[in-house]
Structures are given as structure tokens and as C-alpha cells.
């Protein structure tokens, strides 16, 4: 079967005839993508690949001679990989979406309890084949990535002894190391796929990121919108529930390692960088027109992201307790409100000004 990504398309020019969008005077799509790739996308994917490799190495060293220092180093490696994941998670189109790589790197949100159930089954069976190099990638996505690793390293009652006591301890450690190696392999594939597709993308060819450079610009923008929705709904609204008594901490991301809010803050930072630019490169704001309206939109984005990041930094933790505590909960609700303001800027303010036709029907998967 041929791959969707290898065909070159003559883009249907007529396809834009019915889109009510005025293009701004802005850099060409390929020039924008070129600079965005170098300043934002590639550095963040490099960081993810490096952090995942570091995690894998820490786990391998730990399991070779488990001790308290190695355990702490492994946990720190998990946090490093999660930090990098939160900083790249918004780059959804293309390599991360293909072959469910995003889900395999971090299986969240999960079907209730499935990661725990599947991990328990693997740990009980102690099949040495599962911890062989490359074998984890053939297992269920639920046990392949960082969500499973968090369970292995941070689950209730887990300490150093969980990795040292007998056969069960040795197997748990070997499984953790195998999962770490799998995350490193996946992150490397994502980075390498992007590297490989970049020349074709910049030559105007069809890639998994988009059928044309224009489609790539739009798909990457749409993924920012999706990411804002993930933060607002999946990471905040669902666990918050309707009130302190309705809070559902088990729905929170990375609750066991206590880094729910940290990941949210890094998601917001990454989205902000893709809109406002970083490392001397452009964000989507450079596509705004040089008019009063364009300037106002840029200011709105600067303010909305600053407020959301400040709210996330100020929110009292730990998240799972704070959302059920009437005293601390308002601080978390403030993050949700501020993220909603970011969504408004991304969904309503920017699209008509930057010439991105944000679909209404295409986003919802119905």
C-alpha cells in the first residue's frame, strides 16, 4: 500500500475560493515554516529525544546496581522526560500522530485504570521476553511510555525496595528500563521523521504534516488550538468537576509524581513560544498584519499567555488535593479561566488576521 506521505499533490487552487479569509501580508508559508522549524520545532524535538535518552540511561544504570541514589536519579530522569514531553506535546501533526507515537510516549488520558491493570498483568507474568530490547513496542500502548513508567516509579508505596526485592523487584526494574528505552526510541523516531520530512516540506511537497506548506501551517496552528483544549478540558476541567465535592483527582495527569501543574505550565510555555516566537525565531504572531488590529491581537496574545502562565505558576499544589480543597481550589480554577482566555485568542482573534482558515467541522472528529 502506498503511503499518504509520499505523494506530491498539485494543490487544488480552487479549494480556497469559498473561504472567507483575507491573507495578511506575511512571509511565505515555506519561509515561515523554515524559521519555525529551526527555532521552535527541531529544538524541542531534540530536547525530547535527549531527555528520553537520558531517562533510558538512568534507568539502565539504576537497574544494573539499584541503590537510593540511582532511584532518585531515575525519578529525576522521568521528570526530565516529562518536562520535554510537555514542551513538545503540541506538535501533533505528522510524526507524533502516525503509528500512535504520541499515545505510546504518554498514554493519557487513559481508559479508567487500564495502565494499572495492564502493568499488573505484565508484572505478574514476569515474561522475560517483554523486557528484551524492542519488545515493549509490541505491547499495548498503555504500558509503552511515560504514564506506565510513572506507575512503576511513583505508585503508592513504591520505594527502592520495590526494585530490589527478589525476582519481582528485578523484573520491575527491567520492565522500567525497557519502557525507558522504548520512550527514547519513539522520541528519536519523531525527531528523525521530522528531520527527514523537512526538505520535502520546504520544497512544497506533501508530507505527513500537511499536503502543502499552507496545509502544514494550518495543521500546526490547529494543533495549538487542540493543545489549548487539552489543557483546558482534559487537564483542568474534567478533574476539577463542578465543585470541591465533585473533584476527581484520579483524572489528573501525572498525579502520582505530583507534576500535574508543572506539565500544564510547560504546555502553556510551549504554546506561547509557538505563538510569540523563541530563540530569535517567529511564532504565528509574525503573520499578523501591521495594523492597529494586528497589534491589538498580538498584545492580547502576550497578555493572555502571561496571565495563564502566571496563574499556573501561582496555583497551589499538589493538584490532586488542591482541587478538593475549597481554600486552594480557586487558584486552580484561575488557571482554567486564564487558559480559556488563551483559547479565545487562538480560536477567535488570530485566525482571520493571520490568514488561517480554522475549520469548524474538521476539529471535532464526529
109 is a site residue for other proteins (CB under 8 A): yes
Which one among 46, 60, 205, 233 touches other proteins, defined by CB under 8 A? 233
Q: Which of 4, 155, 199, 279 binds other proteins (CB under 8 A)?
A: 4
CB of 223 to other proteins, least distance (A): 13
- Comparison of 104 and 172: residue with beta carbon closer to other proteins: 104
Q: Residue 229: which residues within 8 A CB-CB, separation 6 or more?
A: 343
Contact flag: residue 100 with other proteins (CB under 8 A): yes
Of 300 and 310, which CB lies nearer to other proteins in the complex structure? 300
Q: Is 1 in the site for other proteins (CB under 8 A)?
A: yes
Cβ 33 vs Cβ 213: under 8 Å: yes
Residues 106 and 73: beta-carbon distance below 8 Å: no
Min. distance of Cβ 109 from other proteins in angstroms? 5
Shortest Cβ distance from residue 75 to other proteins (Å)? Answer: 27
Residues between 240 and 299 with contacts to other proteins, criterion CB under 8 A: 248, 251
The one among 30, 43, 57, 103 contacting other proteins by CB under 8 A: 103
Asked if 364 is part of the footprint of other proteins (rule: CB under 8 A), the reply reads yes
Q: Count the site residues for other proteins by CB under 8 A.
A: 44
Residue 156: CB atoms within 10 A of its CB come to 6
* C-alpha cell at position 2: 502506498
CB closer to other proteins, 17 vs 68:
17
Least distance in Å: CB of 7 to other proteins?
A: 5
CB of residue 206 to other proteins, shortest distance in Å: 7
What are the beta bridge partners of residue 301? none
Strand partners, 210: 207
Contacts of 305 (CB under 8 A, 6+ apart): 268, 271, 272, 275, 276, 342
- State how far the Cα of 196 lies from the Cα of 203, in Å rounded to an integer: 12
Helices assigned H by DSSP within 161-212: 161-164, 166-202
Indicate whether 22 belongs to the interface with other proteins (CB under 8 A): no
User: At its nearest, how many Å lie between other proteins and the CB of residue 104?
Assistant: 10
Segment 74-93, which members bind other proteins (CB under 8 A)? none
How far, CA to CA in Å, does 304 sit from each of 38, 237, 251? 25, 18, 26
Q: Does position 162 bind other proteins by CB under 8 A?
A: no
How many whole angstroms separate alpha carbon 25 and alpha carbon 289? 6
226 binds other proteins (CB under 8 A): no
Sequence-distant contacts of 10-15: CB under 8 A, at least 24 apart:
11/211, 11/212, 11/214, 11/215
**Residue 202, C-beta contacts closer than 8 angstroms, at least 6 positions apart:** 30, 33, 34, 213
Binding string, residues 295-334; x marks residues near other proteins by CB under 8 A:
----------------------------------------
118 vs 257, which CB is nearer to other proteins? 118
With contacts defined by CB under 8 A, name the span among 14-22, 31-39, 62-70, 125-133 that binds other proteins. Answer: 14-22
Where are the extended beta strands (E) located within 82-233? none
CA neighbor of 285 nearest in space, from 229, 338, 226, 224: 224
Q: Which stretch binds other proteins (CB under 8 A): 10-18, 65-73, 162-170, 277-285?
A: 10-18
- Part in contact with other proteins (CB under 8 A); list of ranges 13-21, 26-34, 37-45, 73-81: 13-21
Residues 6+ apart with CB under 8 A from 273: 40, 283
Footprint (CB under 8 A) of other proteins, residues 122-161 = 140-141
Residue 327's φ and ψ, nearest 5 degrees, are -75, -40
Give the cell for residue 331: 487558584
Q: Which is nearer to other proteins, 195 or 234 (CB)?
A: 234
Comparing CA positions, the residue from 230, 225, 272, 220 lying closest to residue 93 is: 220
Summarize as ranges the residues that interact with other proteins (CB under 8 A): 1-5, 7, 9, 12, 14-20, 97-100, 103, 109-112, 114, 140-141, 206, 208, 211, 233-234, 238, 248, 251, 348, 357, 359-362, 364-366
Amino acid at each position: 500500500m502506498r503511503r499518504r506521505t509520499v505523494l506530491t499533490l498539485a494543490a487544488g487552487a480552487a479549494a480556497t475560493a469559498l473561504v472567507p479569509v483575507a491573507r495578511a501580508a506575511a512571509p511565505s508559508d515555506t519561509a515561515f515554516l523554515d524559521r519555525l522549524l529551526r527555532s521552535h520545532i527541531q529544538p524541542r524535538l531534540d530536547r525530547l529525544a535527549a531527555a528520553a535518552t537520558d531517562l533510558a540511561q538512568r534507568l539502565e544504570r539504576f537497574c544494573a546496581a539499584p541503590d537510593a541514589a540511582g532511584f532518585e536519579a531515575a525519578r529525576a530522569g522521568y521528570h526530565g522526560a516529562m518536562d520535554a514531553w510537555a514542551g513538545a506535546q503540541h506538535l501533533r501533526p505528522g510524526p507524533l500522530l502516525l503509528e500512535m507515537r504520541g499515545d505510546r510516549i504518554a498514554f493519557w488520558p487513559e481508559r479508567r485504570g487500564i495502565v494499572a491493570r495492564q502493568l499488573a498483568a505484565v508484572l505478574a507474568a514476569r515474561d522475560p521476553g517483554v523486557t528484551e530490547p524492542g519488545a515493549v513496542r509490541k505491547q499495548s500502548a498503555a504500558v509503552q511510555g511515560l504514564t506506565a513508567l510513572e506507575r512503576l516509579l511513583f505508585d503508592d508505596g513504591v520505594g527502592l525496595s520495590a526494585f530490589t526485592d527478589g525476582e519481582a523487584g528485578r523484573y520491575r526494574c527491567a520492565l522500567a528500563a525497557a519502557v525507558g528505552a522504548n520512550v527514547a526510541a519513539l522520541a528519536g523516531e519523531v525527531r528523525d521523521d521530522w528531520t527527514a520530512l523537512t526538505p520535502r516540506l520546504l520544497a512544497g511537497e506533501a508530507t505527513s504534516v500537511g499536503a502543502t506548506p499552507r496545509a502544514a501551517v494550518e495543521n500546526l496552528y490547529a494543533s495549538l488550538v487542540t493543545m489549548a483544549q487539552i489543557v483546558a478540558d482534559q487537564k483542568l476541567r474534567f478533574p476539577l468537576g463542578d465543585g470541591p465535592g465533585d473533584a476527581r483527582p484520579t483524572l489528573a495527569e501525572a498525579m502520582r509524581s505530583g507534576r500535574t501543574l508543572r506539565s500544564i505550565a510547560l504546555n502553556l510555555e510551549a504554546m506561547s513560544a509557538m505563538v510569540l516566537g523563541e530563540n530569535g525565531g517567529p511564532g504565528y504572531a509574525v503573520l499578523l498584519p501591521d495594523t492597529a488590529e494586528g497589534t491589538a491581537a498580538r498584545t492580547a496574545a502576550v497578555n493572555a499567555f502571561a496571565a495563564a502562565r502566571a496563574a499556573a505558576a501561582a496555583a497551589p499544589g499538589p493538584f490532586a488535593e488542591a482541587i478538593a480543597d475549597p481554600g486552594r481550589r480557586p487558584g486552580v480554577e484561575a488557571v482554567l479561566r486564564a487558559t480559556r482566555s488563551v483559547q479565545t485568542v487562538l480560536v477567535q482573534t488570530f485566525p482571520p488576521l493571520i490568514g488561517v482558515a480554522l475549520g469548524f467541522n474538521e476539529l471535532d472528529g464526529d
